Amino acid sequence: MITFGLSATARVSNELGAGHPTRAKNAMAVTLKLSILLELAIVFALALGHNIRAASFSSNSLIIQEGVNATLSRHPRSILKAAL
């Protein structure tokens, strides 16, 4: 995320310095879309890959299942219910 921010800053400042505010706006929009896409990819990988992550630490099926259960119990709604 930091690299997207730095590249956006450099690109926008270059475009503004060259007198192209429309290109600067487009560069910012592209950077924002790419960062959202990257965030969604990471969220989906974490949400859908819990079996793979649990299996990478152990070959015992009971431990893998407990790891999956622990991952799934960290859902934001369950955290919110526990806080209230």
Domain residue spans of the chain: 1-48, 49-84
Higher pLDDT, 3 or 17: 17
User: What average pLDDT score do residues 52-68 get?
Assistant: 78
Q: What is the pLDDT of residue 73?
A: 60
pLDDT above 70: residue 77: no
Give 33-58 pLDDT, tens digit per residue.
888 888 888 877 777 777 777 777 77
Fill in the DSSP letter of residue 84: -
pLDDT above 90: residue 22: yes
pLDDT above 90: residue 4: no
